[in-house]
Amino acid sequence: MKKFIIFAAAALAFPFFFAKPAAAQTAQLTVTATVLDACEVTSGTLDFGTYDPLSGQAVTGSGTFTVTCTKDTPATIVLDQGMNPDSGSTDDNPLRRMASGTNYLSYALYSDSNGVNVWGNTAATGVAFIGTGTPETFTVYGVIPASQNVPAGQYTDTVTIRVTF
């Protein structure tokens, strides 16, 4: 009986040893994604502190803001003329002013600490850079010219930062 069981088991398994293997097909799966050029900018503040119009001294200050652009994305940062541009102000040569009611205090913004490169609202007067994919801090330098004949008060302006890419 044992021989019969072993023989029967072997007979049943025999076709599997010689069975034709299952057919197989292969193909490829193409995987794609498009990475977009993108930039984000965060607001900043430039606080000149106190200005004494009688001292005969200009006041300087600086502030920072952050820009993050996709890695290897070329971009340019421009600053508009502010909310109170003086007559004759242009995007290339902005004549910015802070306001206190109907009174104005002139100031200038620069992309360098030496006050040579006016930071304007054109590609030629903006700051060009290549994105790294991580936040980058940019410094804006400002000067309030000396001896402006203005009354005491709190003077403010808002300048829009624009990043083109």
How much is the pLDDT for 63? 98
Distances (CA, A) of 154 to 17, 47, 105, 150, 163: 94, 11, 10, 11, 29
Q: Where are the alpha helices (DSSP H) in 45-140?
A: none
The mean pLDDT value for 102-125 works out to 98
Between CA 53 and CA 66 the distance in angstroms is 32
pLDDT in tens, 35-79: 999 999 999 999 999 999 999 999 999 999 999 999 999 999 999
For the chain, what is the radius of gyration of the CA atoms? 35
Mean pLDDT value across the chain: 92
User: Which pTM value belongs to this model?
Assistant: 0.83
pLDDT in tens, 76-99: 999 999 999 999 999 999 999 999
The mean pLDDT value for 111-125 works out to 98
How much is the pLDDT for 15? 54
How much is the pLDDT for 4? 47
pLDDT above 90 covers a percentage of the chain that reads 87
Between CA 79 and CA 107 the distance in angstroms is 14
Residue 7 has pLDDT above 70, yes or no: no
Residue 2 has pLDDT above 70, yes or no: no
pLDDT above 70 covers a percentage of the chain that reads 88
Reported as a pLDDT band with limits 50, 70 and 90, residue 111 is: very high
How much is the pLDDT for 21? 74
How much is the pLDDT for 12? 53
Domain-wise residue ranges, the chain: 39-164
The CATH number of the domain covering residues in 39-164: 2.60.40.1090
